[in-house]
Amino acid sequence: MKETYNVPEGYQYTKDHEWIIAKGSAFLVGITDYAAKMLNDIVYVNLPEISTSLNRGDVFGQVESVKTVSDVYMPASGKVLKTNSKLTQTPELVTNSPYSDGWMLEIECPAFAEDSVALLNAKAYSDYILKLE
């Protein structure tokens, strides 16, 4: 039986399995349910320092599971305003709640309109991961 994945509307996605969503004047970033399920038991999350500036496509951290270590990429260019400190003690939040409690970064993203053309909506991302199955 095929696995089902949560791909909520309103988020935008990368083909590397990150998501981004507006939160007021900032944006939250994390990894998708698909990525979390592929990694399985997440045991450690490495995130950048506050105020780090990164470009779309840059590696911003790593997610370590019992199986592997995976890089996580910026879905849009921006400056890190905040990281999810809960992930230090409770990295499994990424697996259990990738779109809410398991968010990774809050970023300032002044050029989001330009970067967003490379992102997928929920339907396009769902279609993309179905092809990977």
Q: Which residue range is the domain that position 37 belongs to?
A: 12-110
Q: What is the dihedral of CA 84, 8, 10, 80, to 10 degrees?
A: 20
Is the pLDDT at 1 greater than 90? The verdict is no
Let me know if residue 129 belongs to a domain: no
What total of structural domains would you count in the chain? 1
Cβ pair 84, 104 in contact under 8 A:
yes
Average pLDDT, integer, range 6-31: 97
Write the CATH number for 51.
2.40.50.100
Let me know if residue 53 belongs to a domain: yes
Sequential DSSP letters for 84-122: -THHHH-TTHHHH-TTTTT--EEEE-TTHHHHGGG-B-H
Let me know if residue 1 belongs to a domain: no
Let me know if residue 126 belongs to a domain: no
Let me know if residue 124 belongs to a domain: no
The angle formed by the CA atoms of residues 15, 115 and 44, to the nearest 5 degrees, is: 50
pLDDT in tens, 109-122: 998 989 899 999 99
Q: Beta 18-23 vs 12-13: how paired, if at all? A: antiparallel
* pLDDT band at 16; cut points 50, 70, 90: very high
pLDDT of residue 4: 87
pLDDT of residue 49: 97
Q: What is the pTM of this model?
A: 0.95
